[in-house]
Chains A and B, each alone.
Chain A
Amino acid sequence: MSVDEVTEPALTGHDGGVGSVPLLEVTDLRVRFSTRGRRVQAVNGLSYRLEAGRMLAIIGESGSGKSVSSRALMGLLPGTARISGSARFQGQELLGLSEREMRRHRGADIAMVFQDPSRSLNPTMRIGTQITEAVRAHAGLTRKAAYDRAVELLHLVRLPAAERRFHEYPHQLSGGMRQRVMIAIALAANPKLLIADEATTALDVTTQAQIMELLLELQQRLDTAIIMISHDLGLAASYAHDVIVMYAGRAVEYASAKRLFGHVRMPYTQALLGAIPRLDRPPHADLPVTPGQPPDLTDLPPGCPFAPRCFRAGQECREQEPPFTEHEAGHWWSCWHPCEDTVGAVQAVDTVEAGTGGRHRRTGVAPHGATEGPRA
């Protein structure tokens, strides 16, 4: 594969989509903030596509731009943001819509579940009202009908004692229950795309697994596409169809989960995988931690942003930014010295699956258009 100049990545459907118009197509998304006289390039050219009913995981450290890119889709960024590029939802351009037009999409087409349910729910409003508010935002239902729908949603997210919980306040619920309520709110108007922005980060591991299972089940039942934003590669490996890895506002690797973990290319992804604790390492062995810090987004050096910390970095890495191209079929990356397939890479896949308890995707009802079965 030649890696000459920067080309607009021509995204083709890969690994199983039925082709046709993708649900979401993001092209060269860039988001810039001007804050306190400094410019922050939070997202620097992000492109991907998502088919209906599939789950895309966007993985990155905090500050990599993953949350910002998703909020840009929904128009939820503060007024200091300057957005460019394209994001087409079912063929319609989302960027640059007026606030009023954007409101029609929010909730009804795209919904979001946020990280911290204790802060994302209004503490002085009953949870039932917060759900019916979402229901009635896009449908003129009577109070009774809205109530019924809200209770139905609470059952859908498997919240016990739904009728009673309807009248309760957020602080009367546990963290996991609050997150279920958040999911119920997000699903209220039947969106086709659900963005889970670090939805399980604030929860303990057990609850995290439960919520992920719930999301999975909902995806299969409602055929909702999900974008899962996280820093947890293990989650991505266990649940996502496709994975994008972001660093310093850029996508650095993009492939189906199977492909990515089986054939890691980008050293950054490799480093992330390597840092997951493994049971077969000798006890008290040091974790291979990548030295250094993510770069300051107001003062990005030329070349690849990961170069200062990269164990494979060469001279050209520090001078010229590698293009993000489809170097292999269905596998994009941005690197001058990608990793080769080694034993280490295969081990990494085992690690990931072992680390998450070897959980696999359930077969159940195959989502529309997917030809992939359960991963081994």
Chain B
Amino acid sequence: MAEPLIATPAPGRGGALVTVLRSPSLRLVGRRLLLAVPIVLGVSILTFLVLSLIPGNAAQLLLGPEATPAQIAALNHQMGLDQPAVLRYLHWLGGALHGDLGKSLVSQQPVADELGSRLGVSGELVGLAFVFSLGAAIPLALLAARRPNKLIDRISMLVSITGLSVANYVFALLLVLLFAVQLTVFPAMGYVPLSQGAGANLQSMFLPSVAVAFPLFCLYTRFLRGDLVDQLQGEDYIVTARAKGIGPWQVLLRHAFRNSSFGLITVVGLNLGTLIGATVIIEQIFALPGIGQLLLQAINTRDYTVVQDCVVVFAIVAVLANLVTDLLYAVLDPRIRYGNG
């Protein structure tokens, strides 16, 4: 029987790494990495442009309203603010590529030091939020999809849809009201570093992480439940799976969820910007010493250098996170990994 053979690279039983290295997805990764560079550059230029259009002046703010024009001009010169924008940008870029992010205009301390420790705090916030949101959404969506339109499904959908209409800062304040003011289980604000004990650290980070996680949890639950149910009702391979005589949980997990996970990765990726941006307002509410708080302070004191650096860091993190999401997708989805030649 002469079956037409398709010319595909034989995956064999070699590990995933070997396959990836030989596959079109590596080219995809390479391309995305290359694309990421101009995007990050573009973002830094955009930021610099916007910030240089700021009316109002750091020097003036620092010296106060009684300063004479001459004093302002002198401080301007000292801080290098009287140079043309392009020069300032290139100066900054040059420094940044060496890891020197300049000095804060206000405190004269190197920005890089401050950023380092604050990155840890914001990172923990984002990480915990990520874990909470997915950790709650996946089981709930699975349970809901197992028995559509029954009790658990209806409740979880109701919660998700209403939850999506709640702003994260509103939720944060309501959490504080309930758990910190009425029931004093968690602190209303303040950060306890890990060095002072994991328990205390988690206690101080719990409410903020939940506040960030909640809207995302609603989004993921809603999406995943919808996707799972769509598959269970509409896809032929689900019928094949059932026809084999395997149990419903196996059908749900091994078939439906496996396919839904790709969509979920995409949804998570699309909302990473929200996740990262949420740190700004949540850190403000809970007085956490993270990058978001730093950014706000810098904006209020018109500390250009710090603002520039913070915004670029945010942008780089967002771009990298999107890149990782795409990569994950490319590596895990066999249709992309073993694409037809």
Contacts and interface: CB of A to CB of B under 8 A. Distances in A.
Interface of A: 74, 76, 78, 99, 103-108, 111-112, 114, 116, 119-126, 133-134, 137-138, 158, 160, 164, 167-169, 171-174, 176-177, 182, 185-186, 188-189, 210
Contact of A119 (B8, B12, B236, B241): B236
A133 B244 contact: yes
Nearest to B243: A112
A131 to B, nearest CB: 10
A188 B245 CA distance: 11
Given A78-B233, A119-B235, A124 B334 contact: yes
B8, B240, B258, B259 pick with most chain A CB within 10 angstroms = B240
B340 interface: yes
Interface of B: 1, 3-6, 8, 10-13, 233, 235-237, 239-248, 254-255, 258-259, 262, 333-335, 338, 340
B1 A120 contact: no
Given A103-B247, A122-B237, A124-B259, A167 B13 contact: yes
Given A105-B245, A106-B242, A123-B259, A172 B333 contact: no
Contacts of B243: 74, 76, 106-107, 111-112, 186
A174 B335 contact: no
A107 B13 CA distance: 28
B245 A103 contact: yes
A188 B5 CA distance: 24
Contacts of B262: 124
Given A106-B245, A119-B236, 8 more contacts: A76-B239, A78-B233, A105-B245, A120-B237, A121-B240, A124-B262, A168-B8, A189-B244
Nearest to B13: A167
Contacts of B240: 112, 114, 120-122, 182, 185
12 contacts: A107-B245, A112-B243, A114-B239, A116-B236, A122-B241, A123-B259, A133-B241, A133-B246, A164-B10, A171-B334, A185-B240, A188-B244
Nearest to A71: B239
Top 8 A-B pairs ranked by shortest CB distance? Answer: A106-B245, A107-B245, A119-B236, A134-B244, A122-B237, A120-B236, A169-B334, A107-B244
B258 A174 contact: no
A158 B240 CA distance: 21
Given A119-B237, A123-B259, A167-B12, A138 B245 contact: yes
A172 B340 contact: yes
A123 B237 contact: yes
B250 to A, nearest CB: 8
A188 to B, nearest CB: 7
Nearest to A123: B335
B236 A171 contact: no
Contacts of B241: 122, 133
Contacts of B4: 174
A84 B160 CA distance: 40
A151 to B, nearest CB: 13
A129 to B, nearest CB: 9
A114 B236 contact: yes
A106 B247 CA distance: 11
A125 B255 contact: yes
Nearest to A99: B248
B244 A169 contact: no
A121 B245 CA distance: 15
Given A124-B258, A124-B333, A172 B8 contact: yes
A122 B233 CA distance: 14
A137 B242 CA distance: 11
B3 A168 contact: no
A76 B243 CA distance: 7
Contact of A177 (B3, B236, B237, B254): B3
A305 B333 CA distance: 49
Nearest to A126: B334
A126 B19 CA distance: 14
A173 to B, nearest CB: 7
Contacts of B233: 78
A210 B259 CA distance: 32
Contacts of B248: 99
A108 B258 contact: no
B237 A189 contact: no
B136 to A, nearest CB: 25
Nearest to A136: B246
A182 B12 CA distance: 22
A171 B340 CA distance: 7
Nearest to A122: B237
Nearest to B4: A174
B244 A168 contact: no
B3 A124 contact: no
A116 B239 CA distance: 12
A133 B237 contact: no
Nearest to B10: A164
B244 A185 contact: yes
A122 B335 CA distance: 11
Given A171-B335, A173-B6, A122 B259 contact: yes
A216 B248 CA distance: 33
Contacts of A188: 244
Contact of B237 (A99, A104, A121, A138): A121
Nearest to A108: B245
A167 B12 CA distance: 7
Nearest to B237: A122
A167 B11 CA distance: 8
B245 to A, nearest CB: 4
